[in-house]
Amino acid sequence: MMSRRAKSSGIRLTEYDAALVKGMLARGDRQHDIAAWFGVNGGRIAEVASGAAFHWIVPAEEDLPPPGPYPTVKQATEAQKALDEALNALALAESKLQPLCRRSA
């Protein structure tokens, strides 16, 4: 059986990201949550935590993302669908009100 690797996402941590990662780690965030925030494999966060990557970067103290856990892609997709349905319902309601508003003007 042939082993196939998944295609790389192409997402890379920048020096700015690494400063945020270090700040989030110092705050006590879980590596799993940090990886989810940036959309990277947890191994990239472990490399920053261990100093194997970005060892020269100082942890950020300000402008950190909110602490996790974060919504899953499934939850975010469901929320987007609900928002789209609400927007469509509002647009329909508005279209039904517009003729009434024109008559009373």
Q: What is the pLDDT of residue 78?
A: 98
Q: How far apart are CA 81 and CA 75, in angstroms?
A: 10
Mean of the per-residue pLDDT values for the chain? 92
Is the pTM higher than 0.85? The answer reads no
Q: Above 80 in pLDDT, residue 102?
A: no
Q: Above 70 in pLDDT, residue 104?
A: no
Q: Above 90 in pLDDT, residue 2?
A: no
What are the φ/ψ torsions at residue 71 (nearest 5 degrees)? -60, 145
- For residue 5, being part of any structural domain is answered with no
Average pLDDT over residues 50-58: 98
- For residue 21, being part of any structural domain is answered with yes
> Quick one: 38 and 65 in the same domain?
yes
> Quick one: 27 and 62 in the same domain?
yes
> Quick one: 65 and 75 in the same domain?
no
Vertex 86: Cα angle to 99 and 105 (nearest 5)? 20
> Quick one: 55 and 102 in the same domain?
no
Q: Above 70 in pLDDT, residue 1?
A: no
> Quick one: 23 and 56 in the same domain?
yes
> Quick one: 47 and 94 in the same domain?
no
> Quick one: 54 and 94 in the same domain?
no
